[in-house]
Every structure is written in structure tokens, then in C-alpha cells.
Amino acid sequence: MSASSPDSRPPSIGRRTLLGAAAVATPAVLGVATPAAAAPSPAAAGSARKKPRALPGGGDLGPNVIVFDPSTPGIQARLDQVFRQQESAQFGTGRYALLFKPGTYNGLNAQLGFYTSIAGLGLSPDDTTINGDVTVDAGWFNGNATQNFWRSAENLALVPVNGTNRWAVAQAAPFRRMHVRGGLNLSPTGYGWASGGYIADSRIDGQVGPYSQQQWYTRDSAIGSWLNGVWNMVFSGVEGAPAQSFPNPPYTTLGTTPISREKPFLYLQGNDYRVFLPEKRTNARGVTWGNGTPRGTSLPLSQFYVARPGVSAATLNQALAEGLHLLLTPGIYHLDRSIQVNRAGTVVLGLGYATLIPDGGVTAVQVADVDGVRLAGFLVDAGPVNSATLLEIGPRGASRDHSANPTTVQDVFVRIGGAGAGKATTSMVINSRHTIVDHTWVWRADHGEGVGWETNRADYGVVVNGDDVLATGLFVEHFNKYDVQWNGQRGRTIFFQNEKAYDAPNQAAIQNGSIKGYAAYKVGDGVTTHEGWGLGSYCYYNVNPSIVQHHGFAAPVRSGVRFHNLLVVSLGGQGQYECVINDTGSPTSGTSTVPSTVVSYP
């Protein structure tokens, strides 16, 4: 295939394949070491039961947080060791965070596999410079990058060896607060298929080359230039972004991002760890760190309960009730009850794709209708017993005004199936007003273990009931019914990527009353104001290619409900869309995988 077109495809392809064209550092310690699970004090004989003893804040970040400084011996060997373990462990249990203290590192190539995060520990990316590369490629999958999920890079400056860093990723692989002193190549070696991706608060001095990347969202960044586009390239608040030109080239460009607040991050102040909380910006453009210290506040690690895998949900809730924030170190956490976030301003920050598995059908995380909660950097993996919901932001009927200090959900990913059978009726529910969902991938698995139309049943991906919610970088795929159902007023989405469920057995299985199929993105009939920019939906009904999907998008026909730059694609002719939105837009046809587009609606 050519570098800029994914249309040429081999005849025999799997599901996701079609898409897209002793050098361990000393663990960081602050304060009192935190046990894996602090047990409540036993009741004294013959007396009333005492309250659990207070949990300490701070502590050891654990064996899977590997901290380097420029004098650490054998850094490359340790990086290679982690990569060999994680390169193809798509549904494995390993989780790692690779953290670099401020300074300069020479001659490194940090290759990142699954569930691996790399980050600098300065306040600015330029505090930690790697003369070398942070690489994602696709040799493990024969040059196909469409399954390069669940990895991240943050808060580093890179000086690539050959002038260009390679970051060939798919979903759930954010590139945040990075400074590339050169170019950035978003495709794998050989320009194979790729299906990403997300950049935020980053500066790329040279050219960004997406090549075979089908879609990409870049927010509040600065780039030297942008090379090409395949189907859907969206920019908001990006200095140097190409001009608006959808559908040819397929660029959707907004000068600013209406509201944004960057993800919390761990950093060092002297020898002490802190978590920085960037402030909210309105009409944001460019990076937050370009003029010295970023604006915001910070918290010492002593105000966090540093959780380790094996800790109980009861202990996590005790920590929250005592006023601590949560830092989830890398690993897998089984929950027999919901994590209850009830206090305004609470931070729940995961490292190295910390993974929450709700057991017995519980909801993994529930957030009260309070100001300023920040959820970031973790994965929720559905359990085998159906959960009604996996993540709830605000209770049903939440109505408080949070415009001054919204809740943010950033790099929080949801998976149903793939690592084993999982079920959830609805994955993510947003009830609180003014919530910002900034980069999520909510995925009903189309490959891996525990996959089948009923085996990993999940009817709805994201349901938004709250008013004034903003989504920036919304990836939702393969749900049995609506992938996104938006009932709140004044909602906005900048960039949406979707695939309908591949495995529908027949037309009847997806029939929605008189309508053929459930829309990928449905705006509720009672909504009077809503707006979206750069939204795409793809179908690949490989079990039954005769299935017809009436449209990718459905919305009430009102002047206040507006869409800009929509597309639908039938991948290789496996299934068909009759329209793009409602009854508007040309049908997809043939096997050429050419998008059908609508520039403005209504």
C-alpha cells in the first residue's frame, strides 16, 4: 500500500488487522512505607469496636515503578528487559512505569510495549532530556500497528538519533507533555496499517508525519508542520496546525480548545515526590509549559495513599474517607465493591496502566456530584459477572454547577472482554455537569479471549446525561447497541472515532425498531443544543457482510444541534452505511474503503 492510503488490503485478514491501513533503580520513597493493605484495628475484648487506624500517606512506589537517574548503570539493558516482556503481551498482567529523574540521558532507545508508561520527573519536559528515542513500532505484529494499544509517553524532551522519533500507535496510547526536538513519525516501519491516536500539550519542532494513520487528534500543542491525512485528522488549539480543509485533505481545525485542563502528573521537587495539578484553561492554545513553570498547584505524596496490587476496595475507600488522594501503582486490583470518590478535589492517579477489575458485578468507580475530581491514568477491565455500569461520574440526577472547577476524566480506559470474558450493560456514565472527558478509549473487545456477540455483551459505551459536558478525544468501539448516547444539553465533542461491532450475527441482531442498526453516536431526542467536530464511524461486519447500517450518527433536527465534518467508512465492503447522519449523506459502496462525508449538518 502507499504511504498515504490504506485501501490496498490482502484477502485474508483478521478482525482488527483490517483497520488502518540488575539495573533496577532504587524504589522512590517518601515518608512512611505504606503496607499493601492496612488492616483495621481489632476490637478490644468486651469493648465497642474501634475505628480503623489511620492510613499513612506516601510510601514506596513498588517494584514496577522503575526510577532512573543519569548515573544509573545499565539503563538500556533494563529498558530492553521490560520491552521483551511486554512487546506482545497484549492481554498479559505485567504493568510498568519507567520514570526518569531530571537530567540528560544519552544514547537510549526506550522501546515501549503493552502497559508500559515512560515519563520524566521534572516540572517541564525540558527538565529531562533523552538524547535518543522513545519508540513504538510493530515488528511483533508483522508491521501492523493497529493493535499497539495501552502505552504512554509523558513529560520528556527527546533528541531523536536520526532526527525523527517513531510513535506508531493505535488507541489508548497518549503522547502528553512531550518535546520532540525533531520530527515525529506516527507510522510503523514499512508504513503498515495504523489506527491512532492522541497528542496533547506537546511541542514537535519538526514535521509530524501520520502517513498511514487513519485518524488522529492533537490538542493544545505546537508543531512545525503536518504532512498528510487519511480519513480524519482533528486539531484544536494547535500552533502550526494545517488549515481547515475537510474532507480534502481531511483536516478539521479549531483555533482553540474551549475548555481544557491537563492531566495530573508525578514530579520531583528536590528529593520529594509531588503531584502537579494543572489549572483549567479556557480558549486554550499551545502548550502549558512553554514559558517556564506551568500554572497550577501541587500536592505532596504524603497526601496520597500509595496503593499496591492486592489492596482491598475497603482500604481504598478508607483512605478516601480519611481525606487522602489515591496513587495506584502498576498492577491489577480486584474490587468487591465500588471505589467511592465523595470529596471535592480528590485525585485518583494511576501509574503504568493500573487496572481495576470489578468482581461480582459491582461498579468500579463512583464519583459524587462534587467539584474538581481528577481521574487519570488507569484501565477498568470488566469482570465476568455483568456490571450495570463500570464508571459513574455523578449520581443519577446530578445537577450542581461545576463550571468553575469541573471533574476531569483523562486517559481512563475501559475494556470489556479480550483478557477474558467480561460484561457490562453500560461502560461509562457521565451525570455530573461540566465534566471534561479528555481522551478515553472505551472498547468492547473484537479479539482476544472471551469475545463473542453475547460472550462479552455490552450494550452501551458512553452515556452522557449531564449538561455542559465536553469530550476531547473520544474513542468508543464495538458496542452491541449505541456506542455513545448523549442526553445532556449543551454537550460538545471534538474528535470521535468509532467502529461498529464486527461480530453482529445478522441484520435482526442490530435492528433498532424500524431503523437498521444503532447509531455510533446518538443525540437524545430532547436535546436542543449540541455540537460536534470531526466525528467518524466505520463498519466491518465480517461475520455477516450483508448487514446494512442506516447511519453512523443520529440527532434531532434542530438549529442548535450542529455537526461539522462527519464521515462513515465501510471497511473493505464488509457491510454498508446507507447515510452519514439521519437521512443525510451518500451511502458507502464497493470495496474501495472510501469515506462518505458530510461537512455541515443540518
The set of catalytic residues is: 499
* Strand, helix or coil for residue 528: coil
254 and 238 in contact (C-beta within 8 Å)? no
Residue-wise over 37-62: b if at least 16 C-beta within 10 A, else e?
ebeeeeeeeeeeeeeeeebbbbbbbb
Q: Give the amino acid at 294.
A: P
Distance CA 330, CA 327 (A): 10
Residue 593 DSSP class = -
Nearest Cα neighbor of 463 from 499, 491, 422, 430 is 430
Quote the cell numbers at residue 529: 443544543
Neighbours of 522 (CB within 10 A): 22
Q: Are strands 596-601 and 561-570 parallel, antiparallel or unpaired?
A: antiparallel
CA distances from 77 to 11, 24, 82, 108, 430 (A): 40, 10, 9, 10, 43
Distance CA 291, CA 304 (A): 29
Greatest Cα-to-Cα distance within the chain, rounded to the nearest angstrom: 79
Residue 117 DSSP class = E
Quote the cell numbers at residue 506: 445478522
- Expressed in angstroms, the distance from the first to the final Cα of the chain is 36
CA distances from 66 to 135, 329, 490 (A): 18, 11, 43
Q: Give the amino acid at 508.
A: A
Distance CA 327, CA 309 (A): 11
